[in-house]
Chain A
Amino acid sequence: MKILVCISNVPDTTTKVKFKEGDSLFDDSGVQWIINPWDELALTRAMELKEDAGNSVNEICVIHVGGASADATLRKALAIGADKAVRIDACPADAYHVAGQIAEYLKENPFDIILSGIESSDYNGSSVGAMIAEFMDYPGISSVTSVNLDDDDIQINRAIPGGKQVLKTEAPFVAVVQKGIATEPRIPSMRGIMMARKKPLEVKPAVELEVLTESIKFELPQEKGACKMIDSESAEQLVELLKNEAKVL
């Protein structure tokens, strides 16, 4: 089995966001880029599946749609353990465009399992995975909390509001993964980093595809008013404020 993990390249989660050119563009000066946390966990799970000799995962490839500035992020994915990285050389303009590019790649290079994260921590589009499934006409499974293999038997757990489901599906399929898929993201070892240098990072040209949406402006949230402090002995006063001032009780 071959697993493809979609990687989004995002600013570190502690980045203080700033905008430029009249608030129309994200200001990436000084930003540290990382593998989107969900994708890092997806890759970690893919590695675990490959290492488990009981099943037949023989290749893990990571794919990213974006410019050369993401190569460092892809190298990190290779250092974590992916066998191969592919970068489709296009500006990741919107989810439709990104998913369309990945689908084109999949048509030429089929995979059994495609993993994507529930959302990118930058634009929070939460769309790419399900869009790939639709472009390919594959089953897509959302809210996936675990993927288990027993030979070619695929079992998936997914979260539903207030509960969980266990599913069986046939390959190929797309799983959109969230919390639970792996516990801790794997950190590259020294050996992994050395080996990553020799692993293939293929750059593919993009195909012609429409862009349906565009971010035109950004704004920062309004500053919160000062927090009203209440004495720890005066729980009644808080109840009163929640009822009559905030009107949330």
Chain B
Amino acid sequence: MSVIAFAKNWNGKFKNSTFELVSYTKALANQLNTNMVVLSIGEVAEEELKLLGNYGADKVLTVSNPQLNTLTSRAYADIVAKAANSVEAEVIVLSDNNSGKAIAPRVSVKLKAGHVAAVQELPLSLDPFVVKKSVFSGKAFGHIQIKSDKKILTIAKNCFGLVANPCDVAIEEFALDIDTNLFKVKIIQEEEQKDKVILSDADIVVSAGRGMRSPENWTPVEELAEVLGAATACSRPVSDEGWRGHEEHVGQTGKVIAPNLYIAAGISGAIQHVAGISRSKCIVAINTDPEAPIFSVADYGIVGDVMDVLPRLTKALRNSKS
């Protein structure tokens, strides 16, 4: 028996969320009194694979086939299922990001393993196996029992944190035949933003709403984001109006994020907006209306005009840095 984590890489590199996944899986393996295996798919340098050892991985299986450098959920699910079988994994753990969401349900069907997405913490109990997840778009938590022998989880970002646990890593090539039939989807074009902090990865997010009044007024938002090394985000009407790009829209119908710090400027705090940000560790609200609902979910609030408060905050941060 064992537990296995699938560590996704981005152009051969892992992210903090990968290390969080390894930290979580290690703790789960300890809870189950078993060992942990980490699976990596695609070409990743040995140095990078060894980093997984800093968080408790002592065995890494790697499928370093260059054909697998781009993710194909069908082929990846096939490999994850085969690797899980080969190490007799009882629990399979992935990150709850785009790829985890695409792969985990497929593995669930392959292995008849009950699947729970976006788990918030270590299992509440092992027998029966019960995990906790956010439901009703952040309005409640559900305790979900997994009844099958094999179980598959994706874990929510920032739910566990990084736990240092240095180990010597044994890296093994996991050999298998790749079924080329599984590559029916062809990528014909790809664009990646290189210069900006990616919203779904960001530790700090500066977000603005209709209270900014016009797209020309965004400079103070961008300046604040810059001193903080933050990503920028916005409410839905702002992206609907085309004031900002759709990739910035957070909320129930946009992105669901969980940064350490979320700054909401000129956002009223409608329930659908809050659904996307309620798992942030700390929320700061800036709004002219002291009755705005955003203050009921915020940790810190300033009643004031964004055009006035944002530059002040940027200045205070610059001063505190120097």
Contact = CB atoms under 8 A, between A and B. Distances in A.
Interface of A: 11, 13-17, 19, 37-38, 94-96, 99, 118, 121-131, 133-135, 139-143, 145, 155, 159-170, 173, 176, 179-180, 183, 210-221, 224-225, 227-233, 235-236, 238-243, 246, 248-249
A127 B147 contact: no
B277 to A, nearest CB: 13
A240 B284 CA distance: 13
B163 interface: no
A233 to B, nearest CB: 8
Task: Give the interface residue-count category, chain B.
Answer: 35 or more
Nearest to A170: B184
B305 to A, nearest CB: 8
Grouping DSSP codes into helix (H, G, I), strand (E, B) and loop, the B interface class, with mixed when no group exceeds half, is mixed
B140 A126 contact: no
Contacts of A19: 140
A51 B8 CA distance: 40
A94 B113 CA distance: 12
A221 B300 contact: no
Nearest to A122: B136
9 contacts: A17-B139, A37-B253, A127-B105, A142-B101, A164-B191, A166-B187, A179-B249, A214-B144, A243-B320
B301 A96 contact: no
Contacts of B109: 96, 99, 131, 134-135
Determine which residue in A129, A165, A180 has the highest number of CB atoms from chain B within 10 A of its CB, and name it: A165
Given A125-B117, A131-B109, A133-B106, A224 B101 contact: no
B118 A124 contact: yes
> Which 6 pairs from chain A and chain B are nearest by CB?
A232-B304, A212-B114, A163-B192, A130-B105, A162-B198, A142-B102
A112 to B, nearest CB: 14
Given A96-B109, A127-B115, A232-B303, A17 B102 contact: no
B185 A141 contact: yes
B106 A249 contact: no
B35 interface: no
A162 B313 contact: no
B64 interface: no
Given A142-B73, A213-B146, A227-B295, A248 B136 contact: no
Interface stretch (B19-27, B45-53, B127-135, B170-178): B127-135
Contacts of B281: 246, 248
B312 interface: yes
Contacts of B196: 162
Contacts of A210: 112, 148
B303 A140 contact: no
Nearest to B138: A221
A19 to B, nearest CB: 8
B301 to A, nearest CB: 5
